[in-house]
Structure 1
């Protein structure tokens, strides 16, 4: 669906769900939010909920004959785009008809812990048939997202395995967010039901690796490649793609043949260096804002660089005006991806304290589930992971001592990437960092949002199997 919201200049294609978020009555007052939300209460959060999100079962057709039975937000997959204004207090009522205890995490926002949507931090769990109103002042501006933060374990119909995800855009309080003609939001997802399984993976001699989730269907947007509406563009347009990896446990590598992506933001935060790349590489939970100049007319596949993933459906057709024919795919020449390309090549300020975190796996063996360790301990025995003092700068030295990739997410804070591939960098602000197998990186964050703070791998199975910890404030 295309909306002309600035006549003659900018169009908006909303590929993240057709239904708008409905208005509804409020549930709890700011006084009920707890002491960590006093600042939000002082900003006069509205007493009536401005949006309602209903979590309920749906049947979602991703291709003819392929119907996913899942849970979703307001009857659409992805959920409707939730658009908020930076610094403008908001109330969002969530009605849980999913059939299991649930809650929504507002990924990338700086919130009090009880509003963050994470049970480990003390956010209320919404029981089946009940509702809860989240009340907060959204910040910072940028491409955020909202998703279930329930535990799934072996139930591949729950949490991030399901259709419970959507874009959350926090528009800046002032200024134009970017110069573009068309805005396109695309979220990737791999699917459960009969198109997913848990299988033993045998990578070497005993002990075997253990059980892993295997997918057989994927979408970029609402439907599988070739079965949804194309992204329709005009020659010469500047298109802003907001790309979200909303998979439960699979990374995403995208290319648009004959075009390049100028990355202007990662995880919703403007990058210091707007590098132009042929491939976007996003781990689970990561987002990229990239401008593409439409200067190669034709009908193209915007899709995964991996043939198996495209064949599962991971892609969408991009069609120029007045062009028809079979969509074309050409493998990219340069698939390199390095955070350093978007950062400054100087050194970040020295931290007040440096903390080392080592990630390891205990293989589950045939028919078993792996366990994950941080510094030799597995959640919940990692509580607390470490303790911080307010307004101090902390450097986390991350060591992925495993053969798995890990998207590591820090709740309620934004961190600065300070070393990748052995090179010191600065200025690149994120909330999730991809840790390739047997890799190291360093990130800095300022302890400026008091309260328990969850730190975990964003792979649902890794988090459920112990790859998590709680950072506490003195």
Structure 2
């Protein structure tokens, strides 16, 4: 075991090990013996509705700028999966990525074995083998799919890679439509390097550990200024489905001369649609926004942060019969407030309240940070707490650290009931961003029995212990 390599998984079925490292065997049997988790290869029947092949891909994000990564079906993002709510679907996943892998169907209500998280008991797909996922998609809205493997120090794996794609669950009765066009854009950061933050000028205190820094970014499949623009016509109402598929970086987006009308967050319609100048999305968050194309020209839809936009985070919006250089102007200062999209009336009282405190144990120069929930790191957080089916639980969360955390709850949707000192109700999400030294409260109903994974969606934070398993009794 002293010569162990880093595995790609976290699993609640293994004995606690520091940094959750496991021996990777060459065969599925060796992996199963080591991990103690379900490792299944399955020859799918011919009736699979969709096939996803995970394999290496060379992605040209700009002229002469090639990223070698892994993706789905040879593209990044992967193919858009459009599923019908309530209609069973079978998706064959072929793992040619070269390492043990699995796919998480983010935002769906699924049995744990179909969710694509090894911590919940989902099967691992050994290299060179395949697995058939079968489920009935719900709820409707903008969901997505991505790798849920462990990456640790390897910035070519899991959510650091190109393994992500949109999954849209369409209503069983059809969508009446409030727009003329639909555009899907996923943001991602590339060319990551590990750096000691205290060695960067104006960085955090010298007791902080390593962080991933990036040198390129895309909104869509290419860097800003490369590839085809999004062509629109004056008077069009365009629905943008926007996703932050980065591994560890939040984004802020703006479109000069235009505003975003937010109609859904994380795929769920908001009780109070709002029009904003800047759209803030932490890792794994999605937003459905309507933009009225009423300011002809050639514009940059891109990051409100100059550094990100200069790395490529943006795309050109070009009106018909308009030309010239794409225009950018800084948006007005604005803050992001979840409660603006909810209701001011109080949420229903919970059956039980659970307090969760998030803290960091700094790794020091050249080391990796460790994250804790109520003083414990995964797998010692297993179980985080237990629930009874049908009961309503309020999570009172305290981010007692100087880092931002997009907190994600698998297989359930939660209601945002308080942000800081502001109460709210009605806003339903599956991921909530918690800025540094902030508090928030969310409620969920235990209505999807089985082990349920709770974690920060920053890949490095999750890999370094910011995770727990909620179990049903």
TM-score (norm 2): 0.89
Q: Which ranges in structure 2 are unaligned for 5 or more consecutive residues?
A: 1-44
User: Partner residue of 2:425?
Assistant: 426
Task: Quote how far apart the aligned CAs of 1:398 are.
Answer: 0.7
* Cα displacement string for residues 122-178 of structure 1 (whole angstroms, at most 9, x for unaligned residues): 000000000000000000000000000000000000000000000000001114253
Q: Which SS does the other structure have where 2:393 is aligned?
A: strand
Distance (whole Å) between structure 1 residues aligned to residue 221 and residue 157 of structure 2: 19
User: Partner residue of 2:264?
Assistant: 265
Are 1:294 and 2:290 counterparts?
Answer: no
Of 166, 183, 196, which residue of structure 1 is paired with 2:192?
196
User: Partner residue of 1:458?
Assistant: 457
User: Partner residue of 1:312?
Assistant: 311
Distance (whole Å) between structure 2 residues aligned to residue 179 and residue 163 of structure 1: 31
Task: Quote how far apart the aligned CAs of 1:204 are.
Answer: 4.9
Task: Quote how far apart the aligned CAs of 1:336 are.
Answer: 1.8
User: Partner residue of 1:357?
Assistant: 356
Q: Which SS does the other structure have where 1:80 is aligned?
A: coil
User: Partner residue of 2:275?
Assistant: 276
* Cα displacement string for residues 45-90 of structure 1 (whole angstroms, at most 9, x for unaligned residues): x972110000000111000011010000000000010000000000
Are the aligned partners of 1:255 and 1:304 in contact in 2 as well (CA < 8 Å)? yes
After superposition, residues 341-356 of structure 1 pair within 5 angstroms as 341-356=340-355
Distance (whole Å) between structure 1 residues aligned to residue 174 and residue 122 of structure 2: 33
Task: Quote how far apart the aligned CAs of 1:361 are.
Answer: 0.1
Are the aligned partners of 2:456 and 2:467 in contact in 1 as well (CA < 8 Å)? yes
Are the aligned partners of 1:171 and 1:177 in contact in 2 as well (CA < 8 Å)? no
Are the aligned partners of 2:359 and 2:372 in contact in 1 as well (CA < 8 Å)? yes
User: Partner residue of 2:156?
Assistant: 157
Distance (whole Å) between structure 1 residues aligned to residue 151 and residue 431 of structure 2: 21
User: Partner residue of 1:210?
Assistant: 209
Distance (whole Å) between structure 2 residues aligned to residue 121 and residue 348 of structure 1: 29
Distance (whole Å) between structure 1 residues aligned to residue 262 and residue 371 of structure 2: 33
Q: Which ranges in structure 1 are unaligned for 5 or more consecutive residues?
A: 1-45
Distance (whole Å) between structure 1 residues aligned to residue 282 and residue 135 of structure 2: 28
Q: Any runs of at least 4 consecutive aligned residues in structure 1 with deviations exceeding 3 A, and if so which? A: 203-206
Task: Quote how far apart the aligned CAs of 1:205 are.
Answer: 4.6
Q: Which SS does the other structure have where 1:179 is aligned?
A: coil
Distance (whole Å) between structure 2 residues aligned to residue 253 and residue 172 of structure 1: 29
Distance (whole Å) between structure 1 residues aligned to residue 103 and residue 370 of structure 2: 25
Change (3 A) 1:177 1:222: farther
Distance (whole Å) between structure 2 residues aligned to residue 177 and residue 129 of structure 1: 43
User: Partner residue of 2:119?
Assistant: 120
Distance (whole Å) between structure 2 residues aligned to residue 444 and residue 109 of structure 1: 17
User: Partner residue of 2:436?
Assistant: 437
Q: Which SS does the other structure have where 2:462 is aligned?
A: helix
Distance (whole Å) between structure 1 residues aligned to residue 179 and residue 460 of structure 2: 38
Are the aligned partners of 2:197 and 2:204 in contact in 1 as well (CA < 8 Å)? no
Task: Quote how far apart the aligned CAs of 1:334 are.
Answer: 3.2
Task: Quote how far apart the aligned CAs of 1:421 are.
Answer: 2.4
* Cα displacement string for residues 97-118 of structure 1 (whole angstroms, at most 9, x for unaligned residues): 0000000000000000000000
Q: Which SS does the other structure have where 1:358 is aligned?
A: strand
Are the aligned partners of 2:209 and 2:367 in contact in 1 as well (CA < 8 Å)? yes
TM-score (norm 1): 0.89
Change (3 A) 1:204 1:332: closer
Q: Which SS does the other structure have where 1:273 is aligned?
A: strand
After superposition, residues 463-474 of structure 1 pair within 5 angstroms as 463-474=462-473
Task: Quote how far apart the aligned CAs of 1:468 are.
Answer: 0.2
* Cα displacement string for residues 202-228 of structure 1 (whole angstroms, at most 9, x for unaligned residues): 14554x211000000000000000001
User: Partner residue of 1:131?
Assistant: 130
Are the aligned partners of 1:271 and 1:343 in contact in 2 as well (CA < 8 Å)? yes
Distance (whole Å) between structure 2 residues aligned to residue 161 and residue 116 of structure 1: 20
User: Partner residue of 2:3?
Assistant: none
Q: Which SS does the other structure have where 1:290 is aligned?
A: strand
Are 1:377 and 2:376 counterparts?
Answer: yes
Distance (whole Å) between structure 2 residues aligned to residue 301 and residue 253 of structure 1: 13
Distance (whole Å) between structure 1 residues aligned to residue 282 and residue 70 of structure 2: 23
User: Partner residue of 1:84?
Assistant: 83
* Cα displacement string for residues 192-246 of structure 1 (whole angstroms, at most 9, x for unaligned residues): xxx221000114554x211000000000000000001111000000000000000
Distance (whole Å) between structure 2 residues aligned to residue 271 and residue 432 of structure 1: 14
* Cα displacement string for residues 366-390 of structure 1 (whole angstroms, at most 9, x for unaligned residues): 1100000000000000000000000
Taking only aligned residues, the RMSD between alpha carbons, in angstroms, comes to 1.1
Are the aligned partners of 1:279 and 1:332 in contact in 2 as well (CA < 8 Å)? yes
Q: Which SS does the other structure have where 2:80 is aligned?
A: strand
